[in-house]
Amino acid sequence: WLDMLRGLSLSFVWVAIVALGFSISNQRQPVSILEDSLNKPWRSLPSQRITRSQADILFLAVAALGIVFSYLIGGLLLASYQYNDRGRAQDYHAIRDALNAIGMTSWLFGCIEAAGGPEFRFHNADLAAGIILIATITTTIAIQDFRDFDGDRECGRATLPIVIGHLAARVLLAISIMSWSFGVTILKGSGLVSILTGLGLLIAMRLLFLRSQSSDKFTMEVWYGWFATL
């Protein structure tokens, strides 16, 4: 019980540090403040509950704490730096999506290692799973761009729906999500019917037939559940 409690506590600290650091970094650039004023006006910077200089100081403090806590956060900080501070979130959607994938996978692996303690080591199968996760996220996370379409267009972001159009993006993502759903299920040896394939089918149908902004927001929440089952 003590080992389990220790692992859960360390994982919680890891997640809290990373979530806070990324949230600050993701919101503190001028273009991010502009986008949030349209899509998420309740956030701290567009609502002026905190200044940008205060956010910069807080981010540096959280980043320093994260580096001390674990060297693995370096991968996530690099992805976060490229995404938020170097403006890669404004680049072509493939670059943006790949940085999202690297960051999320680093977050997950860091949480696992924090729970496992200093003696924990990843195996080749774990690294292969990490590569699959990065590929899966890279080719499906553009699903988030439908809910933020207006703000992204205002900021000049080259997201998938903006670059190739709404309908083409929805069809492409539906195909990608179903392909990964069946592919990962087969790799797990679970046959073709699973929670993963069921959620994948639900997401694909929602993408194609439920296209309002509120529907897209809920579809993104379902995607998080789908991702968790990978």
H-helix or E-strand spanning residue 63: helix 52-69
Q: Tokens 């046959």, residue? A: 191
* Measured distance CA(3)–CA(229) in Å, rounded: 25
* Measured distance CA(14)–CA(204) in Å, rounded: 33
Better-predicted residue by pLDDT, 78 or 188: 188
Long-range contacts of range 46-49, CB-CB < 8 Å, 24 or more positions apart? none
Taking only the tens place, the pLDDT of each residue in 50-69 is 888 888 888 888 777 776 76
Q: What is the pTM of this model?
A: 0.73
Taking only the tens place, the pLDDT of each residue in 180-219 is 999 999 998 877 789 999 999 999 999 999 999 899 999 9
DSSP state of 88: G
Measured CA distances, 97 to 80, 124, 135 (Å):
12, 25, 10
* Measured distance CA(127)–CA(78) in Å, rounded: 19
* Measured distance CA(152)–CA(145) in Å, rounded: 8
CB of 155 closer than 8 Å to CB of 46: no
Say what the pLDDT of residue 92 is: 63
The residues, ordered by sequence, that sit 6+ positions from 116 with a Cβ below 8 Å of its Cβ are: 7
Q: Where are the domains of the chain?
A: 1-134, 139-230
Taking only the tens place, the pLDDT of each residue in 81-106 is 545 555 445 556 788 888 888 878 87
Structure tokens at 53: 């200089």
